[in-house]
């Protein structure tokens, strides 16, 4: 009996270590955000209502970050009607690559990728307001079929005083479910 209990505790400890190491992986939490250039993987569940939901692999890579005066100059050039960020804030432009692959057949679910699925926050969890601007072209927006990828720009707002702002991705705004939580990147 003692041996069985010992084996059970050893298994529980192994599972706890495994779960802890997965949670601490780069990009899976705001406490361990990934830098630009790192490709983060995840699983998105796609489907509506009571229909069969399919699982899809996603890969998200932050390719480039432009902040402050350079970001504002590019936004102003992209659309004259864009307004400057509110006092105390500045724009950050993020060029992102998003890849989408079916895990099984039939793989017919379309993933609606929207700029609203990306948000900025401080490292201590304060969410920043959405950037109400026309972003650079190509904007990161589109309907992805299995095997497709999309690369484009997302505009966000951060505090001028924040030296370590974050960019997060969550599929929720597009009607899908991202397994394992959001993906997190450093905007610095």
Q: Which helix (H) or strand (E) holds 163?
A: none
Tokens at residue 15, please?
A: 């599972």
Which pLDDT value is given to residue 8? 44
Q: What is the three-class DSSP state of 63?
A: strand
The model's pTM = 0.84
Mean of all residue pLDDT scores within the chain:
88
How far apart, in whole angstroms, are the C-alpha atoms of residue 124 and residue 119?
14
Give the whole-number percent of the chain exceeding pLDDT 90: 73
pLDDT of residue 11: 44
User: What band does 5 get if pLDDT is binned at 50, 70 and 90?
Assistant: very low
Encoding tokens for residue 158? 């951060």
- Convert the pLDDT of each residue in 137-155 to its tens digit: 999 999 999 999 999 999 9
Give the pLDDT confidence score for residue 104 in this predicted structure. Answer: 87
Average pLDDT over residues 68-94: 97
| CA quadruple 8, 11, 12, 18: dihedral, nearest 10 | 180
For the stretch 83-132, pLDDT in tens is 999 999 999 999 999 999 999 888 889 999 999 999 999 999 899 999 99
Question: What are the CA-CA distances from residue 188 to residues 93, 108, 122, 163 (Å)?
Answer: 11, 37, 11, 7
Task: Give the pLDDT confidence score for residue 10 in this predicted structure.
Answer: 45
| Total number of residues shown for the chain | 188
pLDDT value at residue 145? 95
pLDDT for residue 52:
63
Q: Look at residue 49 in the predicted model and tell me its pLDDT.
A: 66
Domain ranges, ordered by start, for the chain: 2-186
């Amino acid at each position: 009996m003692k041996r069985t209990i010992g084996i059970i505790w050893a298994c529980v400890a192994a599972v706890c270590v495994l779960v802890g190491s997965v949670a601490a992986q780069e990009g899976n939490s705001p406490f361990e955000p990934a830098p630009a250039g790192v490709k983060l993987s995840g699983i998105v569940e796609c489907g509506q209502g009571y229909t069969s939901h399919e699982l899809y692999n996603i890969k998200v890579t932050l390719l480039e970050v432009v902040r402050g005066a350079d970001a504002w100059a590019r936004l102003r050039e992209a659309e004259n009607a864009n307004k400057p960020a509110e006092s105390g804030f500045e724009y950050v432009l993020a060029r992102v690559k998003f890849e989408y692959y079916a895990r099984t057949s039939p793989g017919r679910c379309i993933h609606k990728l929207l700029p609203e699925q990306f948000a900025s926050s401080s490292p201590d969890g304060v969410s920043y307001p959405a950037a109400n601007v026309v972003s650079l072209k190509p904007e990161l927006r589109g309907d992805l079929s299995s095997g497709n990828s999309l690369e484009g720009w997302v505009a966000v707002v951060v505090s001028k005083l924040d030296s370590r702002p974050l960019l997060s991705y969550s599929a929720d705004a597009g009607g899908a479910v991202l397994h394992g939580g959001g993906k997190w990147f450093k905007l610095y």
